[in-house]
Every structure is written in C-alpha cells, then in structure tokens.
A and B are shown apart, each in its own frame.
Chain A
Amino acid sequence: MSDALNITAPPGSQWKRRFLQPLLRQRSAMVGLAIIAVYIFAAVFAPWLATHDPAAQDLMASLQGPSAAHWLGTDSYGQDLYSRLLYGAQLALIIGFASVALGLVVGVAIGLAAGLMGGRTEWVLMRIVDGLLAFPELILAMAFMAVLGLGTENVVYALALSFVGPFARMTRGDVLQVKNQPYIEAARLMGVSTAAIIWRHVLPNVVSPILVQAGMRVSIAILLESGLSFLGIGVVPPTPDWGLMIAEGRAFITMAPWISGVPGVALAILLVALNLLGDGLRDAFDPTTQKDA
C-alpha cells in the first residue's frame, strides 16, 4: 500500500503530511513546544550552564537573595538555586518521559494481549486493569512508593505502574475495533504471520490516540513526581528536585520566597507548556474529540 504511494511522493513527505502539518497548524501547541524546547536545552546542557555543584552546601552563604555569585539566590543549606533549577529540569523531564514511556509499553502490551487473545486471558487481564483504574493515580503511586521504597528510580516505576491502566484499557478498546476490520481478515487469509499483523496492521491503527494520551500524561507525570517529592515520599535529598525544593522553601516563605518561588514558577510554566502541547496533539490527531467550537 505504502509502496504504491511512494512512487509519486518522495520518502518522508507522507510522514510530514500526516504528522507534522496538522501539528504545525496548532499555534498554542507550537508555543508550548518552544517553551519545552528551552527546558530540554537547559536539561541537556545543565552540566555546562550550571555555575555550582547542585548538591554542594555552603552554610556561610545560606538564604541569600539573587546576586552575581548566586544568580537566583541560595536555599537554607546554601545550595545554588540556579544550578539546582537546571538539574531539576533534567530530573523532571527524565522522570516524566521515562515513566510515561514505561507505562505505555506495559499498558499497550497488556491491551494488545487482551484485545487479540480474548477469552479467559482477556477477562483476567482486564480485571487487573479494573483494579488499577479503581484508584486515583496519586494514591496508587503512593502505595507503590510505600512498597518499593524511596528513590528516583522507584518514582519512575511507581508512576509507570499507575499509568498502565489507562493505556491498557485504551489499547484494548481500539484493538477490538480494528480486529474485525476486513483488512485484518484479508491479511490473515493471505497467510501473514500474527506478529506481522500486529506490528504492521493493528498497531499503526491504534497508535495515534495512544500517543496523544501519552503526550497528555507527561504533564501529569511531572506533577505527580514533584508532588510525591514534595510530600517526602519521592526523590530523596540532596537530589535537585523541584518538589523537594518547594517543600524546603516552604518554611522560609516570608524571609526567602525565592527558594520555593524559583522551582515553583519553573514547574508551573513547564506544566502549562506541556498542557498546551498535549491539547494541541489531541486536537490535531484525535478525531474523536473535536476542538472547542
């Protein structure tokens, strides 16, 4: 099918037409993307952009306001907030994307297995998914953190596990719709192997709503991650984490508002940008939800 199209269109242009152009038309999504690009830049080049070691304490220089030595001031341990902000961006983005990616892979695998196998396997898998979906994400993540213990890696696992449910349910629903389409039957009659049918004919037809969902989940993941750390059951100090930084600055809000202000504002802007991009992705690729009239 694609071979026939490629005769008239140079390779790559189909991808452009299907994915790039609809997204480029969403102006607010582009604004979101630009902001996220700045964050990604800060995260990638944090080691070069930072002026201090993000975990280095200097009690002589604690609770200082913005100055030439410390561009955004220091916290109560005398740690440089500018450097912590950069490394915090790194951590937030890594945890956000990694947990959603992991949750997506596991969830889609469960959804595919349930949708394609049917019968008892489907029943059991979907009851497990029901169990996961019966709890709010944060409670689920807190429970997993309690079982797994604190630490950066465990935050990723806990968040990923709490995202499995929605991905699995969505994938299964889409697979059930696609499964009975004539082209799947045709492929089967032609003797195409099951793995090839899943990879080439089922997955491409369920992938875009799942990716839209993933895009929207990243902001929830980052919100949950910083929330868990804020509560003290996520990443452990002295890791430069925005949630931890906000929690630390809470006690000093009247005398040194920049301690929680720097990570708080950075987090809020990133979440707004991710939401703009997520909404744009949804409007561009998800035919079931229509843009607000």
Chain B
Amino acid sequence: MFQAASAKLAQTLLVLLIVSAASFAFLKLAPGDPVSIMLGSDYSKSSYDQLTHELGLDQPVVFQYGNWLADFVRGDWGTSYITNQNIFELAVLQALPVTLTLAALSLLIALVIGIPTGVMAALYRNSWADVLATTLAIGGNAFPSFYLGILLIWLFGVDLGWFPVLGFVAPWEDFWQGLWHLTLPAVTLGAWYVGLIARITRSSLLEVLGQPYILAAKARGEPGWRVVWVHGMRNVLMPLVTVIGLQLGGMLRGAVMTEVVFALPGLGMMVTTAVLNREYIVVQAGIMLTGLLFVAVNLAVDQTYQLLDPRLRRR
C-alpha cells in the first residue's frame, strides 16, 4: 500500500517535472528576443547586456530553468507587458475560477440529463429514450461547440431574450446573476458531455444488469428502483468516472471555445488573447496551469476508484 503510494507519488512528480520543462521549453522556442522586446526599439549594447544579465539570460539554460521553476513555485510568474498585471493573479485568481466554474456547471448539467437518459435507454431498449441517447451521443460529440454557442446566443439570447448574451458575473459575488449568465455557456459545453455520459451509462448498466448479484437482489424481492439505482448504478459509477476523467481534454477544448464565444474571462480566453497578442509569458502560464490541472484530475480519478470500489481499498 505504502509502496504503491510512493511509486505513484514519484511518477506524478516526474510528470510534473516534465510538464514544467515543456512549459519552459515553450518560452525558449517562442519567437522573438525577450530582452529587445522589453527594451523597445532604441537601446544601446550595454543596456542590452545589462538587462540580459539581470534577467539571468546569460546563464546556462539549466540554471535558467532552475531559476524559472523556483520563481514559479513561489508564485512569481512575472507581469504582463500589455496590461501590466501580475500574471499569477491573472491566471490563478481570475481566469482559473471562471474555467472551473464553467466546467463544473457543465458537468452537472451533463450528469443530470445524461444519467437518467442512459438508464432509461438501458431499461427500455429501442424506445424513444434509447433513440435519444444514441442521437445525443453521436450529435453532441461531433457538433462543434463554438457553432452551438452561436446558435444558442441567437435563439435564447437575441431572439427570445431569456438569457444575457455575453459577459460574466461571478457566482460567488452574485449567485443568481452569475448562474443566469453561465447557463448558456454551460449548456453549450455540457451538450458535448451529455451524449457520452448517456452512452456509457447505457452500456455499463446493460452489462451490470446481467450480473448474478442483480438476479440475487431481484430474488430477495427488492423493489425495481432499488435494484437499478442502488445495486446497478453503484457499479456503473466506475466506468463513468473513468470516461469523465479521460475526456478532460475534450472538456478543456470545449471550454476554450465556449469562453471565447461567450466572452468569459477564463483560461481559454486568456491563452487565446495572449497568443493573438504574442504575449508568450502569459501563454506559458496557461500551458503550465492546464498541464497541472490535467495531472491533478488524473490523480483525482485514481483516488475516486478506491472510494467507489471497496474491493480496491484492501490492496
């Protein structure tokens, strides 16, 4: 148990080190010389050399990486050339909560719609629920979220006027306003997940319902809803969590698009703007942060397995 945990920890640390090295390499590969960008168009050789020295750019790359990593861990991520904003504040305190809120709300919507659809599809095969689940799975997975967002803005924002079209209100400042502003983006992003969740729920539940312990529960005279929702769904959770975790890349892809369509100031918006402005230091912060997020979610998925399946705890 302890050995497994420490092996997992060592592996995670290694991946984190690789993530940081990749982010650092990105900044080194980015076009343009940071010193001349900071000095502007007119500078002397001595001021150039001085700034190079101050930034530590005359040191070997390994040392530069070490310094950068130390600064990064301390939360000293530098300042944006354009907005003069502290990048740590911009990325971690402002952008990250927006993206996480959007992702959480979308996932909630997807689960609330997807799981019942999947269960109905499994219980009543070839019924309308089954057709709906399949359609959602194929359509939702393929429909480009940025076009769906535009359609939703057109229909519910402009035409019907039910929801605000653009902008973000933090739910932790004004809960109902925030929720109201986030509804369309969350539906846009969640649409992608609904079909996936419905499909996995359906196929896993069908498999589980054929197991002996379901027959045993039925033989004990347990009511039908208990057989499905307690004995059945408990065993569907594992594949469901796996798929949700595995599809995080797709979720982040959708989040970037959704944020740009709805002008939400999240990580995706931050990275997009930074790429367009050629502000590589901000792009780098975004890359590093998403990398960390990815690693963290994978770890969390691993941990949930033990929570969901008692059989794994004893190992």
Contacts and interface: CB of A to CB of B under 8 A. Distances in A.
A134 B291 contact: yes
Given A257-B154, A272-B139, A275-B138, A138 B253 contact: yes
Contacts of B143: 268, 271-272
A77 interface: no
Contacts, number: 133
A145 interface: yes
A272 B141 CA distance: 8
Give the contact-size bracket for chain B: 35 or more
Contacts of A249: 150
A138 B150 contact: no
B147 interface: yes
Interface string A228-247: 00111100000000010010
A230 B275 CA distance: 13
Contact of A233 (B206, B276, B280): B276
A12 B210 CA distance: 42
A253 B166 CA distance: 14
B183 interface: no
Nearest to A254: B158
Contact of A146 (B14, B141, B250, B280): B280
A268 B147 contact: yes
A293 B86 CA distance: 53
Given A233-B276, A253-B150, A260-B147, A143 B283 contact: yes
A139 B290 contact: yes
Max chain B Cβ within 10 angstroms of own Cβ: one of A132, A231, A275: A231
B18 interface: yes
Nearest to A147: B29
Contacts of A230: 146, 257, 260
B154 A254 contact: yes
Nearest to B249: A136
Nearest to B283: A146
Interface stretch (A52-60, A200-208, A219-227): A219-227
Interface stretch (B19-27, B89-97, B217-225): B19-27
A139 B138 contact: no
A145 B275 contact: yes
A147 B30 contact: yes
Max chain B Cβ within 10 angstroms of own Cβ: one of A136, A249, A253: A136
Contacts of B26: 143, 146-147
Interface in B52-111: none
Interface string A258-285: 0010001001100110111000000000
Max chain B Cβ within 10 angstroms of own Cβ: one of A132, A224, A267, A293: A293
B202 interface: yes
B240 interface: no
7 contacts: A127-B14, A138-B249, A223-B144, A233-B275, A246-B147, A254-B154, A272-B138
Given A142-B283, A292-B202, A293-B207, 14 more contacts: A136-B250, A136-B290, A143-B26, A146-B283, A223-B253, A227-B144, A227-B146, A230-B257, A231-B260, A246-B146, A250-B150, A253-B158, A271-B144, A292-B199
